[in-house]
């Protein structure tokens, strides 16, 4: 295929192979002996839209299903109305070539789903043992104006995932999508899927406008706390948001968008005292990087000291609650002055609360080396962040990859 | 003393093309652009991506009028960039310096063209 490299030039590419693209990742893996390290990726992705026709078969509402079938077929020339699209070009206009080229990649027709084949390819190249896999276009499903479509789509996706995909390989797990715009449906989702194999938690896609403190969600939080399943907030962006609409470059939309929704939900979560109401519920903030956390900690602590009457449930500083939460690392901001990053790690108690993730195959993915090569971490901290923290968070059985697994530093 | 690695016969690396040759446990990307040869290690200074396997793209510039108003963007084909396919880090083809942050650069190699072909000195 031809990739335009300017208005008058192009580059021709005939084939695409993830293994070849990631050969330098495999070299990093071998040089650092990462095969000996438990690596759990708490946030990677697949493209569920490429399986839309299969997923739609699981939609129960006959009218929504008919609509979905129509638009997932060929010839309508229209985007499916089941997934809201937003403006954006994450591939930096083709510079991140795996986006335009992914359709060229061949996978064996052996009964194993293409997404499983592709996932295992990049996982093996990086030395990743287990993943928590998220969808891609559905990260924006919280913006759908019809809550019943968010419910229908997410329930169909979750059923398809636990029935067709997760059983194919134990290395692939998921934090299932919660249709947060319908609190009752979200509760039923946890009830129905919480004990299914490969389900290590539940996720809320953060780009939405329902507040996490709404009483309607309390029974869902309680149920997840009882089940021991973590709740993740997965970031994304919305260029149509009135605030982000004032930006004119995707760089800014992304840098801001992937942090502000999680920052808003996190602030609401803490200041409304939800950590006091659900002390056993583990909360994870995904794909906002790390730099926003010290910012929010300092802002909330400063205001809380002056206005504690507005947050009477709190028994300690907001930052101390935030230190009990979990954070995924990607896209990890790496300043030229590593002292800044070291201080961030200290502030979030990274050794126990930070979980590495790749976000692969998305454009700003991170390799395990972003953690493994940090000069200020000792071996135990590196191994905790790369795998052990997530193993504990998900209560993950890793015996399939490490039959004699011992936590780093000899911990339990 | 640097070893000579055969890249290609001269006719097999026409203008505007790139060839990647093995060099131990890595590779070197060799470019011929506007009659000049350039060679860099196929290793991005960011996270180690195969920088030379990405696109070769013209620099993007903003068009700012004399009254400081923004008038759009354009390609500057006199300044070409090597773009790493992993994350889009861009390097100046002439110098190998990363365009967004000059504290990073690709490792550069000398290239020679002889009667029987092109060689990189590694």
In order of A6, A14, A89, B91, the CA distances from A2 in angstroms are 12, 9, 18, 22
Shortest Cα distance from A28 to chain B (angstroms)?
8
In order of A6, A41, A127, A339, A367, the CA distances from A386 in angstroms are 39, 8, 11, 20, 10
Closest CA to A95 of B54, B62, B5, B106: B54
A98 and chain B: CB distance < 8 Å anywhere?
A: yes
Q: Which of A1, A16, A94, A96 to mutate to test the interface with B (most CBs of B within 10 A)?
A: A96
Q: Pick A97's closest partner by Cβ from B43, B54, B75.
A: B54
* Domain span at B49: 4-121
Q: What is the pLDDT of residue A105?
A: 96
CATH of domain A37-48+111-398: 3.20.20.140
Which residues of chain B register pLDDT less than 50? Answer: none
Shortest Cα distance from B90 to chain A (angstroms)?
9
For chain B, the average pLDDT equals 97
Closest CA to A206 of A91, A311, A284, A300: A284
Assess contact for A30 and A125: CB atoms under 8 A.
Answer: no
A97 and chain B: CB distance < 8 Å anywhere?
A: yes
Sequence-ordered list of residues with C-beta below 8 angstroms from that of A40, at least 6 positions apart, any chain:
A128, A129, A130, A131, A132, A355, A356, A386, A387, A390, A391, A394, A396, A398
Shortest Cα distance from B33 to chain A (angstroms)?
13
Q: What is the pLDDT of residue A74?
A: 59
Tell if the CB–CB gap between B88 and A25 is shorter than 8 Å: no
Q: How far apart are CA A178 and CA A160, in angstroms?
A: 15
Q: What is the pLDDT of residue A412?
A: 53
CATH number at residue B54: 2.102.10.10
In chain B, whose CA is at the least distance from the CA of A16?
Answer: B53
Q: How far apart are CA A272 and CA A213, in angstroms?
A: 7
Q: Pick A27's closest partner by Cβ from B25, B53, B77.
A: B25
Assess contact for A70 and A158: CB atoms under 8 A.
Answer: no
A5 and chain B: CB distance < 8 Å anywhere?
A: yes
Assess contact for A199 and A193: CB atoms under 8 A.
Answer: yes
Q: How far apart are CA A387 and CA A406, in angstroms?
A: 12
Q: Which residues of B touch A96 (CB under 8 A)?
A: 85-88
Q: Which residues between 52 and 81 in chain B have a beta carbon less than 8 angstroms from any beta carbon of chain A?
A: 53-58, 75, 77
Q: What is the pLDDT of residue B1?
A: 75
In chain A, whose CA is at the least distance from the CA of B18?
Answer: A11
With 0.90 as the threshold, say if the pTM is over it: yes
B25 and chain A: CB distance < 8 Å anywhere?
A: yes
Q: What is the pLDDT of residue A78?
A: 66
In order of A145, A376, B59, B82, the CA distances from B77 in angstroms are 45, 43, 7, 13
Tell if the CB–CB gap between B55 and A97 is shorter than 8 Å: yes
A404 and chain B: CB distance < 8 Å anywhere?
A: no
A329 and chain B: CB distance < 8 Å anywhere?
A: no
B83 and chain A: CB distance < 8 Å anywhere?
A: yes
A330 and chain B: CB distance < 8 Å anywhere?
A: no
Q: What is the pLDDT of residue A86?
A: 80
A249 and chain B: CB distance < 8 Å anywhere?
A: no
Tell if the CB–CB gap between A363 and B87 is shorter than 8 Å: yes
Across chain A, which has 412 residues, the per-10-residue mean pLDDT values are 91 94 98 98 96 95 95 71 88 96 95 97 98 97 96 98 98 98 98 97 96 98 98 95 94 96 98 98 98 98 98 98 98 97 98 98 98 98 98 98 93 56
Structure tokens at A373: 């090569």
Tell if the CB–CB gap between A24 and B53 is shorter than 8 Å: no
Assess contact for A5 and B77: CB atoms under 8 A.
Answer: no
Shortest Cα distance from B65 to chain A (angstroms)?
18
Shortest Cα distance from B54 to chain A (angstroms)?
7
Convert the pLDDT of each residue in B63-80 to its tens digit: 999 999 999 999 999 999
In chain A, whose CA is at the least distance from the CA of B89?
Answer: A95
Q: Which residues of B touch A102 (CB under 8 A)?
A: none
Question: Bridge-partner residues for A337, per DSSP?
Answer: none
Q: Which of B47, B79, B103 to mutate to test the interface with A (most CBs of A within 10 A)?
A: B47
Tell if the CB–CB gap between A28 and B75 is shorter than 8 Å: no
Question: Bridge-partner residues for A231, per DSSP?
Answer: A202, A283
Domain count, chain B: 1
């Amino acid at each position: 295929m031809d990739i335009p490299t300017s208005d008058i030039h192009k580059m021709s590419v005939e084939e695409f192979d993830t293994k070849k693209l990631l050969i330098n990742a495999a070299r990093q893996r071998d040089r650092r002996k990462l095969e000996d390290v438990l690596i759990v990726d708490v946030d990677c992705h697949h493209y569920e839209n490429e399986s839309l026709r299969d997923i739609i078969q699981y939609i129960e509402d006959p009218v929504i299903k008919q609509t979905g079938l129509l638009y997932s077929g060929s010839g309508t020339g229209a985007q499916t109305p089941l997934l809201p699209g937003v403006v954006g070009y994450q591939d930096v206009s083709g510079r991140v070539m795996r986006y335009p080229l992914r359709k060229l990649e061949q996978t064996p027709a052996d009964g194993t789903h293409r997404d499983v084949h592709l996932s295992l390819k990049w996982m093996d190249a990086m030395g990743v043992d287990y993943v928590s896999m998220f969808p891609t276009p559905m990260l924006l499903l919280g913006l759908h104006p019809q809550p019943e479509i968010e419910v229908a789509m997410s329930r169909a996706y979750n059923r398809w995932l636990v029935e067709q995909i997760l059983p194919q390989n134990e290395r692939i797990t998921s934090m299932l999508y919660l249709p947060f715009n319908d609190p009752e449906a979200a509760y039923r989702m946890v009830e129905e899927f919480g004990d299914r194999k490969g389900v290590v938690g539940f996720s809320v896609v953060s780009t939405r406008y329902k507040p996490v403190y709404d009483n309607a969600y309390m029974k869902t939080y309680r149920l997840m706390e009882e089940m021991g399943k973590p709740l993740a907030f997965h970031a994304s962006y919305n260029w149509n948001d009135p605030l982000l609409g004032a930006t004119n470059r995707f760089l800014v939309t992304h840098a801001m968008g992937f942090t502000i929704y999680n920052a808003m939900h996190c602030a609401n979560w803490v200041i409304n005292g939800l950590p006091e109401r659900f002390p056993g519920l583990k909360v994870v903030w995904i794909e906002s990087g790390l730099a926003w956390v010290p910012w929010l900690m300092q802002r909330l602590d400063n205001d809380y000291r002056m206005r504690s009457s507005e947050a009477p449930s709190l028994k300690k500083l907001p930052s101390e609650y935030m230190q009990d939460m979990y954070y995924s690392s990607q896209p990890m901001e790496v300043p030229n002055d590593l002292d800044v990053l070291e201080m961030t790690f200290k502030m979030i108690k990274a050794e126990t609360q930070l979980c590495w993730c790749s976000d692969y195959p998305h454009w700003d993915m991170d390799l395990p080396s972003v953690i493994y090569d940090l000069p200020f971490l000792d071996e135990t901290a590196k191994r905790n962040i790369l795998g052990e923290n997530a193993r504990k968070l998900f209560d993950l059985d890793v015996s399939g990859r490490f039959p004699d697994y011992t936590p780093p530093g000899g911990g339990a | 003393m640097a070893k000579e690695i055969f890249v290609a016969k001269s006719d097999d690396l026409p203008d505007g093309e790139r060839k990647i040759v093995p060099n131990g446990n890595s590779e070197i990307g060799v470019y011929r652009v506007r009659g000049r040869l350039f060679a860099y290690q196929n290793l991005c200074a960011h996270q180690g991506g195969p920088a030379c396997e990405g696109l070769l793209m013209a620099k993007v510039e903003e068009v700012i009028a004399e009254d400081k108003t923004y008038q759009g963007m354009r390609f500057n084909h006199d300044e070409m960039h090597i773009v790493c396919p992993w994350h889009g880090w861009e390097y100046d083809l002439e110098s190998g310096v990363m365009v967004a942050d000059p504290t990073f650069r690709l490792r550069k190699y000398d290239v020679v063209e002889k009667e029987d072909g092109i060689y990189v000195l590694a």
